[in-house]
């Protein structure tokens, strides 16, 4: 019995000692963690100053040139291609013959329709003279007139079929893609694609602008256009479309029509820039860098630094001016705003400014 008691006391003592050591280690770890947390509490950020400066209200927007006319047209009727008269890159005019479809049977049918028409016409003339002398009845004359009408309709359709053997360009422009060769079989259902024709004598540049910018634009306004591949050339365009509704990113699509130069230097798909000139003179405005905003400009939230502490402020943003944004209310000239590192910040965090 005495031996059992001694064993129990020894075990209890050992457990107490282990508990004491664990508690001490935990306390030391917490103290170390607190020290590390204190050292790492400051979030590294970059800053900029709020400035009041003279700002031009001119702005630019980028987009891609698109043709004003573009068409992939197809065969309306079946047949076998006997000749293709154009190649990719050729310029064609409206009505120009591009390819010819085999026409043997069609020509024979047209000749037969012509003969039938001439015969019906002669018959009607004889019947008309005979009716005047009482040689035939009114009903017989009407039947001859109906036969002439039907023969005329058949001849017109036959001539249309002959015309359909010569496939002609519906618009002017460049042959951008050719889908058929001599010997190709055309089908009407589904229709066989023949050519892509692109007209680049006029192009349109599609851009998007924000709400403060779109307010200054009007249909017909002249806009200076430049293309990235022609830095020494400038083009003139006019606004032909301004969206009545913003897109999903809250920007407004705008289209500008440009007349190409004589050598058609501008190509559809090239990258272009529209330079919009403001009607207002330069103004003194309070501005901050665009990347000072938390998330996006529409959030109207900016972190400022006060005595090494990040403070989240609500502001009223005005116009977006390139990489700067006008501040209407909420910030004063000279305040320090955070421009990078906001993703790691919460209101009241200590910050370390990176120079």
End-to-end CA distance of the chain: 76
Evaluated on CA atoms 161, 163, 166, 167, the torsion sign reads negative
Name the pLDDT band for 84 (thresholds 50, 70, 90).
Answer: very high
What distance in Å separates the CA atoms of residue 178 and residue 170, rounded to the nearest whole number? 15
pLDDT digits (tens, 9 = 90+) for 205-236: 999 998 878 888 899 999 999 998 998 888 99
User: What is the per-residue pLDDT for 116?
Assistant: 80
Quick check: 193 and 179 in contact, CB under 8 A? yes
C-alpha angle with apex 25: 21 to 27, nearest 5 degrees? Answer: 120
Determine the CATH number of domain 103-162.
Answer: 1.10.287.470
Q: What are the residue ranges of CATH 2.40.30.170 in the chain? A: 60-67+198-276
**Angle 29-31-37 from CA coordinates, rounded to 5°:** 100
Q: What is the mean pLDDT of residues 128-149?
A: 84
Q: Could you report the per-residue pLDDT of 117-132, keeping only the tens digit for each?
A: 888 888 888 888 888 8
> Which of the following CATH numbers is that of domain 60-67+198-276: 3.30.365.10, 2.40.30.170, 3.40.1390.10, 3.40.50.300?
2.40.30.170
Look at residue 218 and give its three-state secondary structure.
coil
pLDDT for 77 equals 75
What pLDDT is attached to residue 36? 39
3-state SS assignment for residue 323: coil
Contacts of 74 (CB under 8 A, 6+ apart): 191, 192, 193, 194
Q: Where in the chain is the domain with CATH 2.40.420.20?
A: 43-55+283-353
Q: Averaged over 7-30, what is the pLDDT?
A: 58
Sequence length of the chain is 355
More confident residue, 104 or 219: 219
Share of the chain above pLDDT 70, in %: 83
Q: What is the pLDDT of residue 303?
A: 95
Could you give the CA distance from residue 274 to residue 233 in angstroms, rounded to a whole number?
13
| Phi, psi angle pair for 27, to nearest 5° | -65, -40
pLDDT (0 to 100) of residue 33? 43
pLDDT value, residue 144: 82
Cα–Cα distance between 36 and 176 in angstroms, integer?
67
Q: For residue 163, is pLDDT > 90?
A: no
- For β-strands 252-259 and 301-306, DSSP reports them as unpaired
CA distance 237 to 218: 13
Burial 155-180, CB ≥16 within 10 A → b, else e: beebeebbebbebebeeebbbbebeb
Listed in order, the ranges of the chain carrying CATH 1.10.287.470 are 103-162
* Structural tokens at position 355: 């120079």
* pLDDT 10s digits, 235-290: 999 999 999 999 988 889 999 999 998 888 899 999 999 988 876 667 778 889 98
**Predicted local confidence at residue 104, as pLDDT:** 57
Q: H-helix or E-strand containing 335?
A: none
Going by pLDDT thresholds of 50, 70 and 90, the confidence category of residue 38 is: very low
41-45, 156-160, 253-257, 272-276: range with highest mean pLDDT: 253-257
Among residues 12, 227, 197, which one has the least CA distance to residue 90? Answer: 197
Tokens found for residue 198? 């692109």
Extract the tokens encoding 243: 């969206």
With respect to CATH, is domain 43-55+283-353 assigned 2.40.420.20? yes
pTM above 0.75, yes or no: no
């Amino acid at each position: 019995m005495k031996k059992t008691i001694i064993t129990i006391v020894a075990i209890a003592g050992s457990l107490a000692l282990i508990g004491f050591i664990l508690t001490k280690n935990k306390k030391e770890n917490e103290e170390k963690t607190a020290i590390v947390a204190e050292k790492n509490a400051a979030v590294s950020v970059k800053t900029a100053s709020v400035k009041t400066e003279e700002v031009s209200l001119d702005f630019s927007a980028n987009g891609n040139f698109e043709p004003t006319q573009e068409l992939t047209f197809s065969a309306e009727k079946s047949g076998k291609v006997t000749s293709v008269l154009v190649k990719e890159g050729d310029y064609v005019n409206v009505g120009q013959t591009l390819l010819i479809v085999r026409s043997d049977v069609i020509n024979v049918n047209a000749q037969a329709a012509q003969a039938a028409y001439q015969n019906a016409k002669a018959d009607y003339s004889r019947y008309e003279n005979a009716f005047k002398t009482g040689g035939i009845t009114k009903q017989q004359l009407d039947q001859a007139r109906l036969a002439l009408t039907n023969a005329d309709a058949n001849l017109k359709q036959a001539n249309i079929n002959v015309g359909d053997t010569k496939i002609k360009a519906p618009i002017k422009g460049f042959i951008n893609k050719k889908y058929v060769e001599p010997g190709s079989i055309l089908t009407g259902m589904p229709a066989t694609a023949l050519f892509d024709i692109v007209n680049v004598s006029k192009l349109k540049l599609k851009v998007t602008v924000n709400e403060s910018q779109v307010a200054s634009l009007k249909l017909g306004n002249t806009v200076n256009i430049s293309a990235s591949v022609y830095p020494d050339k400038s083009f003139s365009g006019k606004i032909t479309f301004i969206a009545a509704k913003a897109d999903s990113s809250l920007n407004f699509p705008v289209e500008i029509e440009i007349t190409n130069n004589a050598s058609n230097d501008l190509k559809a798909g090239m990258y272009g820039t529209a330079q919009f000139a403001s009607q207002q003179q330069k103004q003194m405005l309070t501005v901050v860098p665009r990347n000072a905003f938390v998330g996006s400009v529409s959030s109207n939230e900016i972190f400022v630094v006060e005595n090494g502490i990040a403070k989240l402020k609500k502001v009223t943003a005005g116009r977006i001016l390139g990489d700067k944004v006008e501040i209407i209310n909420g910030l004063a000239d000279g305040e320090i705003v955070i421009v990078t590192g906001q993703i790691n910040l919460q209101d009241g965090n200590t910050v370390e400014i990176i120079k």
